[in-house]
Structure 1
Amino acid sequence: MFEQAKVKPPTPATTALVDRIAAASRAEAQAAAERLVSIADLFEEREKSFGGCDDWVIDLFEAVAAEVAATLRIGLGLGTSYLRYAMAMRHRLPKVGARFEAGDIDFRLFQTIVFRTHLITDLDALDEVDAQIAARAPRWPAMSRRRLAGAIDKIVAKVDPDAVRRSKESIEDRYVKVQATDDGMAEVVGQVFDTTGKALDRRLDELAGTVCDGDPRTRDQRRADALDAMVAGADRLTCTCGSDTCPAWSNTRPAGNVVIHVVAEQGALDGTSQTPAVIPGSDALISAEVLRELAANAKLLPVIGPIDAPPEPRYSPSRALADFVRCRDLTCRAPGCDHPAANCDLDHTIPYERDGLTHASNLKALCRKHHLLKTFWGWRDEQLPDGTVIWTLPDGRRYVTMPGSALLFPTLCTPTGYLPEPGGSAEERCGNRTAMMPRRRRTRAQYRAAAIEAERRRNHERRTQRQRWNNWYFDLPSVPDGEPPPF
C-alpha cells in the first residue's frame, strides 16, 4: 500500500508564480531574438557604407562579427556565430524567425534548426522546410538536442534528401585533443587508427618498464610520464627511486625541443607564497605545490619589467621585451578576445612608422584578426604605461581592457613610463591603408557555397551507394537447398 501526498488545489500565489516563470521564459527568448534582429540590422547598415570588400581577408562579415563580439564581450568565434544566426533568421528562415521573435521557441532550438537546414540551397525547398518547421517547432522545446535533430532531419529528408546533415565517416573523424583540467593537469582524448592506438599503448608500456622496481610511481603514473619522455624524444623514462646504485636512475631529464612557458611569482617557487601559476593560453591554474615540483626540472628565467627603460632603436622588440609584453598581457588585448599572447603579433599602439616607439608602454599583444581590424577597419586604441588599453570602435563606443596578469601578477603591470605623444590625430597616424589589405582567393560566399556543395555531394554519393546495396540485397535470387549462399 502506498501513501500518497495530499495534493492541494492551486492558490492564486502559486498560479501567479508559474505565470511569471512562463512569462520570463518567453521574454528571454524574445530578447535573444531581438539581439539577432539588431545584429542583422547592424550588418545591413554597415553594408551601405562599406561595399566592395568581399575579397578582403577581414571582410565586412568578419568586421561586423568582431564589433558584435566586442559589444557582448565574447570571443570572435562566438561573435561570428551570432552574426551567422542573425543572417539566417533574416534571409533563410523568416517564418521560423517570426516564431522566435514571438517567444514560441528559444535560442537553443533556433540554433539547432539553423544548423540542420544549412545545406539546403534550393529556395523553394528552403521555403517549404521553413514553413513546416515553423508550424511544428513550438511543440519541440522539451526535446533533447538529439531528438530535435531527428525531428528536423525528417522534414528536411522529405524535401531535400541530400541536405540532411550526416556524421562523417569514422576514418575522417580521427582527432587528438588536449584539454586543460584543474591544478596544472590536462586530459588527452582522441580517436586514431587501431594500429596507431596499439602502437602507442605498447610504446607507453615499454617506456614505463625502463625504471627499476624501486620506482615509487604506479604503473598508470609511469605510463602518463612516458608521454612526457616521448615528447622530449627520450628512449627511456627517468627513474625516481633516488638510489645512487640504480642502473636506470638519472638526475637529469632528457633534453627535448618542446618548450612550455609557465608564468609564476618568485614567492611561489620559494615557498613563501601560494599564488598559483598560469600557462599562457590555458584557463587552468597550477597550484604552488605542483609548480615547485615542475620547477625542479625546468629552466627558470626571470621576467624583468623594463621600468623607465629607454625605447629600443628598432621595429622588432628584443627577446626580453617581447617576453615581458606577452607575460604581462597573456592574451590578445582586444575586448573579449582570449587568443593566447604567445600566438599573437606584438603591435605598436602608435605605429612605428608614425613615430611610435618600440617600448613596453607602446607594445601589446594582438591576434592577427584584431591587428588587421585596427589597421584597416578603423579600430582605434590608446595605451597607458601600466598596459591598460582603451579602445574606440567605429561606432564611437569605448572599451577598456586590462592586462591578463593584472589579477595574479600585479607587479607585471607596474607602469613602464610615459612616452612623448607624437604629432597628429590617431586617424592621421594610422592613415588610409586599404590598398595594402591582404586579399582572399575566394570570397566568403564562394567558400561557403563550395563547402555546402561538397557536403551535399558526399551525402548524395553515400545515399546512392546505400540504395544500390539495398537493391542488390533484396533482388538476390533464391538459393537452392544444400548450396552455400553467394557471399
Structure 2
Amino acid sequence: MAIATTTPAPETGVPLVSQLAADEGHTAAELIEILAHCRAVHASADYRMLQAASLIHDEREEDHLSEIAGVDSGEASSMADLADRTDAARLGCGPRADFGPDGLQRAVAEVGAVLNLPPARAREIITAGADLRHRLPLTGHALAVGRIDLATFLVAVSRTRLCSSETIADVDAHLAQAIFARPPMSRARFTVMVDAIIAQIDSDALLRRRARAAADRKVSVRPDHHAPGQSRLSASLPMESAAEFDARLTVMSDEPHSSDPRTLDQRRADALVALSRGRLHLPCECDDCTTTAEPEQVQPATTTDAPTADEESGPEHAATHTCECHCDTAARPTFHIVVNLSTLLGLDDDPGFLDGNGIIDADTMRSLLAQAEREFIRPEPPTPDATGYRPSKKLQALIRAGELCCTFPGCSAPAWHTDLDHTDPFSTGGRTTRTNLKPLCRFHHRIKTFTAWRDHQDEMGTVFFQSPTGHMFLGNAYTGTDLFTALRSPPSPTDHPARRHLDALRTRQRDAHARLIEHNREAEPPPPF
C-alpha cells in the first residue's frame, strides 16, 4: 500500500536544511534574490501542477467512457427502447447517470485528496489546467517561466472564460505579448489589462459577462466556523451595484466624529447593520455624543478630523471644520468612472473604468453617468512651476484618471482612495505638477516618507521605486493612459535648437536614401516582356 505524503525523503531534505541554515547568514539584498528565485520556482511548479491535474482528468474521462462502452453502446435496440431513452432525456435523466460519477467528478476527488483541497477548489485547478493546455497556452508559458504567479494566471482564466472559441487564440496571443513586454504589475493593473484586451478583440464577451453577473447575483449569511459567535456575510453583485453599496457604507462610516472609538472596519460593519434596519445614518459613539445625546438623536459637535485622502500625511495638514453626525438628508455616495467623451456621446462603445472595480461596458457606463456629476479633463502642455502645495481639483482628477491604483509595486488600492504624493518633496522645491505627483495609498505613502525607500518619476509618468537593498521596481507597468490614450501628456515643444538639429539630420538621411533608391531603379530598368 502506498501512502501519498508531502514530507521530503531524508536524502532530499538534507540539502534544503543546509540552504535554510545558510540563509541565516545572508544579507537582506541576498535574501531578496532568494525570494525572487523562490517565486519563479513556485510558479514553474504550479504550472506543472495544473498540467498534471488536467492530465489526470483526461485519463479519468477515458476510463469512464470505456466503462460505459463496455456495458452500453448508446444505440437503441428497438423503437420502444428509443422512446424510453427520449422520455428519460426529457425528464433530465442522463443516459450515463447509472454509471456513477463521471470523469471530472472522479478527477476532482483524486486531485482534492492529493492537494488537500475541497471539491470546488480542486475543480478550479483542473479547469485552469485545461485552459493552460488548450485555451491559454501562451499565457500559461508566462506562468511556466515565472513571469506571473498562479493567482495572476487564475485571473486570466476567469476573465477570459466567456470569450468565444473564435477569439480566444487572439486574446491569448495579445495577453502573452503584453505580459512579456511589461515588468510585473499589481493584480488590479493586470485585471484591467486583460479586460482591455478582451474588449478590443471580443467586445461581446463584456456583454456576456454583464448578463452573467446579473444572473449570478446572490447574498448568503452563514455561521463562521473559525470565529465562534460570529457569522460570515458574502454577496455577489454586478460591479456597479457593488460600487454603489460600498460607497454608501463609506459615506455612513465617515459620519461619526474622529474621536469615535470604533475602527473603520467596525464602523462599516455597524453601517451595514444600520442599513438593514432602514437607517441611512450611523450614530456617533464618542464620549460627547453618547453623554449628551437624547434617544435617537446626537447633537452636532466641532472636531478636528484626520487628513483626507487628497492631503499628504502630517500634522500641519489637518483641517478643522464643523461636522454633523445626523443630517436631515443622507450624504450622497460617490464613486468615480473614467470614460472617453466620444463614448459618452455615443460615437463609439469603448469601455470605461470604474475606480476600484475595473473595466465596465459602455451601455452600463452611460446609464450610470446619466445623472452623475461630470468633470471634463484633458492633458495640458507643460506649465511653469506651481507655487501651491495642494493640487487643483482638475489636476487631481487628471492624475488619478491617468493611473488605475496606487503606484507602489504590487499595490491595488483604488486611485481615488489614495494620497497624491510629491515625488520630489514640496518642502525641498518639488513642484505641484503632473510629472511630480502620483497616487500612493496611506500605507505606502508613509513607507516612502519615513523609510529608506526612494522613488523617481520621469516626464512620461513612469514611476520607479528603489528598495533599501538597492533593488529597482517599476510601480506602474500598465496605467490609465494605456486604457485612455487621450490622457497622455502632449509632446514637448519641438522648437528647441537641439531637436531641430536632429530632425534636420534625419530628414537629410531619409532624402539621401530615397534618391539612392531612385537612382538604382533608373540604372536597372525592368526587363521587357
TM-score (norm 1): 0.40
Q: Which has the higher contact order (CA 8 A, sep 6+)?
A: 1
TM-score (norm 2): 0.37
